[in-house]
Amino acid sequence: QVQLVESGGGLVQAGGSLRLSCALSGRFFSVYAMGWFRQAPGKEREFVARISCNGGGTTNYAESMKGRFTMSRDNAKNTVYLQMNNLIPEDTAVYSCAADRTCYRSSRDSRNGAMYDYWGQGTQVTVSS
């Protein structure tokens, strides 16, 4: 049974930084591609970033996050991270991580939450102006 637990959310002022973590309990963490999504109140779930399986050599980001967010993975700790810098109020949302048993996908499919097999409960990020 795979479980994902996010942590690291909180309240931060605009311009600040946060680092989210997502720990996966279960075997063979390295074979999963991992993604981050977010959902703001009254809005649809939105793709944030994805990292490929194994060494995580390939990362994809939503356009609005490029240059501000960095996703990484530590297979020894069964954990992925999302470093978020220069946060703006529009980044306020619940951030969830997800695991995908398919390592490589097209850019389009990578952004589709329906392609992911396991989800965490999410962690709240609030950016004040």
Residue 95 has what pLDDT? 98
- Amino acid 54: pLDDT: 86
CA atoms of 47 and 96, how far apart (whole Å): 10
The confidence score (pLDDT) of residue 9 equals 97
> What's residue 88's pLDDT?
97
Predicted local distance difference test score (pLDDT) of residue 119: 98
| CA–CA distance, 12 with 17 (Å, rounded to integer) | 7
Give the pLDDT of residue 11.
98
Contact 11, 57 (CB under 8 A): no
- What sign has the CA pseudo-torsion 125, 82, 21, 3? positive
Dig out the tokens for 18 from the structure.
């946060």
Could you list the mean pLDDT of each consecutive 10-residue stretch along the chain, which spans 129 residues?
95 98 92 97 96 88 95 95 98 98 93 97 97
What's the pLDDT score for residue 26? Answer: 84
Do strands 10-13 and 123-128 pair parallel, antiparallel, or not at all (unpaired)?
parallel
Residue 101 CA to residue 99 CA, distance in Å, equals: 7
